[in-house]
Amino acid sequence: MRIGWVHKLVNKWPGKKTFGMYRFLPMFFVLGAALEFSMINWRVGEVNFYNTFKRRQAHDIVEEKIKKYAAV
């Protein structure tokens, strides 16, 4: 089977008896921290994720205010 190696890896992961299914939590915590770090510090040209997010959020706020005052 193709998933056989995944099953073997999961069974060999330490802490099964003590932590049960929560033994994978530290791995996902580290992966999430690495993703957050990359989104903050990696730049493509002059732009990173947070610059793009802030610009889009500001654009949405301006559009809401324009709609609000245009309806009055």
Q: What is this structure's pTM?
A: 0.60
Give the span between the Cα atoms of 7 and 10, in whole angstroms: 5
User: Reduced to 3 states, what is the DSSP secondary structure of residue 44?
Assistant: strand
pLDDT digits (tens, 9 = 90+) for 6-19: 888 888 888 888 98
Instruction: Quote the Cα angle for 33-39-43, to 5°.
Output: 140
Q: Where in the chain are the domains?
A: 1-41, 48-72
pLDDT digits (tens, 9 = 90+) for 17-70: 898 889 999 999 999 999 999 988 888 888 888 888 899 999 999 999 999 998
